[in-house]
């Protein structure tokens, strides 16, 4: 007698097409970002692949990844076999308190937080818990908490988090329209020429054999531009260092780090784009991590249509792990 299939187990083994109706909280979000949330565990290349193939539909029609979903849209999600997305780790009471204590500015629509170095902005790629997940756990009553932009894990400083979908849309539009100004402090190897104010190049992402993601200058990459200003010169064990103010005009991954490295001036403590001998020498002087700090953030506050734009500027000083060893370095006047 042939074995009978268990219909329930067969249904479980075969994913089914799903239809999701967009709610008010997601209205205005890009479709690709909407899919990241609803196709948990799906890598972005797979999401873009099913979009190209027309397997994702909105109101029965094909749409592009940058389409902004609207309340009431019906999104068709294709049947994908995905690994179960790992639940975020639990944030400790100490971490939740630290984040609350790190808030630099807050209103009804947004938060500016002084991100600690060493904390990823979100979970993923082997990180079970990031800043945004911990902040959501600290504020379970919040209807929405979303990152407006990102900072590298080892970078400290100003980070924008939206509390409303309308604020998220407004701030992301401001980013695209170059109305948001970010200023970083960076300590680099070598003597940076004062007249070298701008670095412009094309940057391309690539992967090492280990799977680690990096960025390089390449004619195949995306155009990027950073403005640099020399703040001071220092000498460390016979090596010269330059303290820079860096203002990225574009927002590419690792942009400041790669632009500095392309001029032979990698950032102190950069384990991706600097050399081990230099980093070891700087560690002996007290620099234990990447010297990159988001010191100032200027952005337009969301206003009613037709109203005058009001700019908000938030500044935060260097944290002690960067400030204390920097103050001990001999200043070199040039």
Active site amino acids:
152
Beta bridge partners of 258: none
Nearest-CA neighbor of 314 among 299, 301, 327? 299
**Which DSSP string do the residues of 4-61 spell out, in sequence order?**
PP-HHHHHHHS---EEEE--GGGTT-BHHHHHHHHSTT--HHHHHHHHHTT-SEETTB
Q: Measure the CA–CA gap between 218 and 203, rounded to whole angstroms.
A: 6
Q: Do 103 and 109 contact (CB within 8 A), yes or no?
A: no
Q: Of the candidates 117, 332, 114, which has an alpha carbon nearest to the alpha carbon of residue 230? A: 332
H/E stretch holding 234 reads strand 222-236
> Which of 278, 261, 271, 151 minimizes the C-alpha distance to 216?
261
CA distance between the termini of the chain: 91
Do the beta carbons of residue 240 and residue 278 sit within 8 Å? no
How far is C-alpha 10 from the geometric centre of its chain's CA atoms? 40
Neighbours of 247 (CB within 10 A): 17
């Amino acid at each position: 007698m042939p074995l009978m299939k268990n219909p329930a187990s067969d249904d479980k083994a075969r994913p089914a097409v799903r239809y999701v109706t967009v709610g008010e909280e997601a209205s205005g979000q890009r479709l690709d970002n909407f899919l990241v949330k609803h196709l948990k565990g799906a890598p972005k290349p797979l999401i873009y692949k099913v979009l190209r193939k027309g397997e994702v539909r909105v109101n029965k029609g094909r749409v592009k990844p940058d389409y902004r979903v609207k309340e009431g849209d019906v999104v068709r999600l294709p049947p994908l076999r995905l690994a179960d997305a790992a639940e975020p780790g639990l944030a400790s009471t100490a971490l939740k308190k630290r984040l609350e204590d790190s808030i630099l500015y807050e209103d009804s629509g947004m938060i500016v937080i002084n991100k600690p170095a060493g904390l990823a902005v979100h979970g993923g790629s082997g990180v079970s818990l990031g800043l945004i997940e911990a902040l959501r756990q600290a504020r379970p009553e919040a209807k929405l908490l979303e990152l407006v932009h990102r900072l590298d894990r080892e970078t400290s400083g100003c980070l924008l988090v939206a509390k409303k979908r309308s604020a998220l849309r407004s701030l992301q539009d401001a980013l695209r329209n170059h109305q948001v100004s970010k200023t970083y402090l960076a300590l680099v190897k070598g003597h940076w020429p004062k007249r070298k104010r701008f670095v412009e190049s094309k940057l391309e992402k690539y992967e090492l054999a280990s799977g680690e993601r990096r960025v390089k200058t390449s004619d195949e990459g995306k155009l990027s531009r950073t403005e640099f200003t020399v703040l001071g010169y220092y000498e460390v064990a016979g090596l010269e260092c330059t303290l820079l103010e860096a203002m990225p005009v574009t927002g590419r991954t690792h942009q400041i780090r790669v632009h500095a490295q392309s001029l032979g001036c990698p950032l102190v403590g950069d384990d991706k784009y600097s050399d081990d001998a230099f980093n070891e020498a700087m560690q002996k002087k007290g620099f234990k991590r990447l010297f990159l700090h988001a010191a100032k953030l200027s952005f337009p506050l969301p206003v009613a249509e037709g109203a005058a734009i009001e700019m908000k500027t938030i500044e935060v000083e260097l944290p002690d792990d960067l400030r204390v060893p920097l103050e001990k370095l001999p200043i070199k006047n040039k």
